[in-house]
Amino acid sequence: QVQLVESGGGLVQAGGSLRLSCAASGRTFSNLGMAWFRQAPGKEREFVASIGWTARNTNYANSVKGRFSISRDNAKNTVFLQMNSLKPEDTAVYSCVARENYWGPDKRLYPSWGQGTQVTVSS
């Protein structure tokens, strides 16, 4: 099992930026596909972005494409989510996930989840 700890959430005004981090342990990080999901109050958890183990492959939800950027540092066992031009509708709890040999958008396939970090965007 992979242990995941997110950080970097907070309160920001619309148009602002935040950078989320997720530190992983318990597995060889360079073998892990990593992704971010988010869940707003009263809504289903949704895919945000994912990255393959080599970092050459990334995938984004249409709602964040062009504003968010996912990256990873295999030397530090950490994945990042840079969020720019934030909107009130980005307000949610953001969770980091991991799985060996998978980096797609299907939340059902990720066995390891972090506790989540709150992102609140004020208008």
Mean pLDDT of 10-16: 98
Considering the chain, what is the average pLDDT of its residues?
95
The 10s digit of each residue's pLDDT in 59-103 is 999 999 999 999 999 999 999 999 999 999 999 999 999 999 899
Is pLDDT above 90 for 28?
no
Instruction: Supply the pLDDT for residue 64.
Output: 98
Strands 46-51 and 112-113: unpaired
- Residue owning tokens 């953001």: 94
Mean pLDDT of 34-55: 95
Is pLDDT above 90 for 22?
yes
Query: Distance between CA atoms of 11 and 51, rounded to whole angstroms?
Result: 26
Q: Does residue 116 contact residue 6 with C-beta atoms inside 8 Å?
A: yes
Q: Does residue 26 contact residue 100 with C-beta atoms inside 8 Å?
A: no
- Residue owning tokens 């797609």: 104
